[in-house]
Amino acid sequence: MYGFEALTFNIHAGYLEAIVRGHRAGLLTAADYNNLCQCETLDDIKMHLSATEYGSYLQNEPSPLHTTTIVEKCTLKLVDDYKHMLCQATEPLSTFLEYITYGHMIDNVVLIVTGTLHERDVQELLEKCHPLGMFDSIATLAVAQNMRELYRLVLVDTPLAPYFSECITSEDLDDMNIEIMRNTLYKAYLEDFYRFCQKLGGATAEIMSDLLSFEADRRAVNITINSIGTELTRDDRKKLYSNFGLFYPYGHEELAVCEDIDQVRGVMEKYPPYQSIFSKLSYGESQMLDKAFYEEEVKRLCLAFEQQFHYGVFFAYMRLREQEIRNLMWISECVAQNQKSRVHDSVVFIF
């Protein structure tokens, strides 16, 4: 019942909520980012990170460092935090935590299938996969020729199996079909996660419905922008939108018929929470849209920590840590390529 979580929440989840709030206190601050942006070499970045929670992960890395090494070690910190929480969690929190990784599983499946299509080495592709999205039979994805085989040979035993019901066709896999598959899987996953959170009820349902609705709306906008000028029909485009969120259902009707970025802007500006995103962009500009979305998402994720006795903090922490790793990757790449003038272009400050 809403409002009564405080009575029983701490019996099973109190310890883990304290742990995740402790992890949140270890996220990099604006002062850390300002210092990192001043670094001249990757070794300087390593030296600065040695005073943070990433220190123990980077301390034994020899020079010269590579950007991939920094990202890999920082991701390892995220994975360790996640595994610790999952080991301690009881139902329904353990299922909630597992849901968080399904998005990475979808990305890994798409990465392997796309790489195989372009005749890349499977071992090389596996190294690029996100560790949170790994499952036992992932290496065998390379043998599949179409969606039906992909499902029958590999994915039937994974948590993604229920999401494949809308994707199973006998068409051969090509870049267009794979992208449609990714978005169809994401749609099914987000709707399933949304239903699960609604079933939990209380503050978890309230906070997660806001965060997942934002995710669904962002995906709808990205699908629309990416499909402008392709052979994807309006009906096909509409089928890829999730059946919840602020845009559902009337915004989806309008997005489905958009022909350029300014029409998308016109649709979004009708919704007050999204007006601020486009107010930062000039007309016809879509390059900075991703950063504007990330900034809005970070704002919402930070607000999740303002309330207690709900599972939204676990989702928020994982997303904020992933954003932090994206920031570190961008800063490291700018330093490595001597492009320090662009270092602030994609950094999203968290606190």
CATH number of the structural domain spanning residue 175? 1.20.1690
Q: What is the largest CA-CA distance in the chain?
A: 56
Q: Is residue 143 part of a domain?
A: yes
**Per the structure, how many domains does the chain have?**
1
In tens, the pLDDT along 94-115 reads 999 999 999 999 999 889 888 8
What SS3 class is residue 148? Answer: helix
Residue 99 lies in a domain: yes
Tens-place pLDDT, residues 76-88: 999 999 999 999 9
Does any domain span residue 67?
Answer: no
For residue 70, is pLDDT > 60?
A: yes
pLDDT at 286: 64
Residue 231's pLDDT is: 83
**Residue 139: how many other CB atoms lie within 10 Å:** 15
Confidence of residue 3 (pLDDT cuts 50, 70, 90): low
Residue 83's CB is within 10 A of a number of other CB atoms, namely: 13
Q: The pTM is what?
A: 0.93
Residue 188 lies in domain: 89-200
Bigger pLDDT: 128 vs 172: 128
Q: Does residue 74 lie in a domain region? A: no
Compute the CA torsion angle 75, 81, 84, 88 (nearest 10 deg).
Answer: -140
Please check whether residue 132 lies inside any domain of the structure.
yes
Residue 168 placed within a domain: yes
Q: Within a domain: residue 252?
A: no
pLDDT tens by residue, 259-291: 888 899 899 989 998 888 887 777 656 668 888
Beta bridge pairs of residue 146 = 172
Please report which residue ranges of the chain form alpha helices under DSSP H: 5-25, 30-37, 42-49, 55-58, 67-88, 93-117, 122-128, 147-149, 175-200, 202-227, 234-239, 250-256, 261-268, 272-279, 289-304, 312-336
Q: Which 8-state DSSP code applies to residue 184?
A: H
pLDDT tens, residue by residue, 177-222? 888 889 999 999 999 999 999 999 889 999 999 999 999 999 999 9
